[in-house]
């Protein structure tokens, strides 16, 4: 296992996104999905993006938002209520928390 040190440099992510942290850990291609953990091993986020114009400016989704998404997904699967109306409502509610990060080389 490999680990990289860094800090949570902002409690909000790209353009003030409250669902993510800005972190200073060096993130490389393929690191998305990696855990963001505290010194005592507590999971606080999942690495999901890197700002390519700057060194060591990356982002991680806050674990609390991931828990909400998983709970909602579990409810939809268990209830069998994946109707068009429910799906449309879910997409509308989640849309404000979705960010497109694009990179051109």
**Residue 13 · residue 24 · CB < 8 Å:** no
pLDDT for 6-15, tens place per residue?
899 999 988 9
pTM assigned to the model: 0.64
Task: State the pairing for strand pair 43-50/58-62.
Answer: antiparallel
**Residue 48 · residue 54 · CB < 8 Å:** no
pLDDT at 64: 86
Q: 94, 104, 46, 98: which is closest to 71 by C-alpha?
A: 94
| 102 belongs to a structural domain | no
Structural domains in the chain (count): 1
pLDDT at 67: 79
pLDDT for 14-37, tens place per residue?
899 898 999 998 888 778 888 888
Q: From CA 33, how far away is CA 67, in angstroms rounded?
A: 15
Report the CATH number at residue 79.
Answer: 2.40.10
| 1 belongs to a structural domain | no
pLDDT at 10: 92
pLDDT at 75: 59
| 3 belongs to a structural domain | no
| 101 belongs to a structural domain | no
pLDDT for 48-104, tens place per residue?
888 888 788 999 999 888 877 777 666 555 655 555 666 666 667 666 666 555 556
pLDDT at 22: 93
pLDDT at 23: 93
């Amino acid at each position: 296992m490999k680990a990289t040190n860094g800090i949570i440099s902002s409690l909000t992510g790209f353009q003030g996104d409250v669902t993510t942290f800005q972190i200073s850990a060096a993130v490389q291609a393929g690191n998305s999905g990696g855990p963001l953990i505290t010194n005592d091993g507590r999971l606080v986020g999942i690495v999901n993006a890197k700002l390519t114009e700057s060194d060591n400016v990356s982002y991680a989704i806050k674990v609390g938002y991931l828990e909400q998404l998983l709970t909602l997904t579990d409810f939809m699967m268990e209830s069998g209520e994946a109707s068009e109306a429910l799906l449309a409502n879910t997409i509308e509610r989640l849309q404000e928390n979705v960010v497109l990060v694009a990179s051109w080389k």
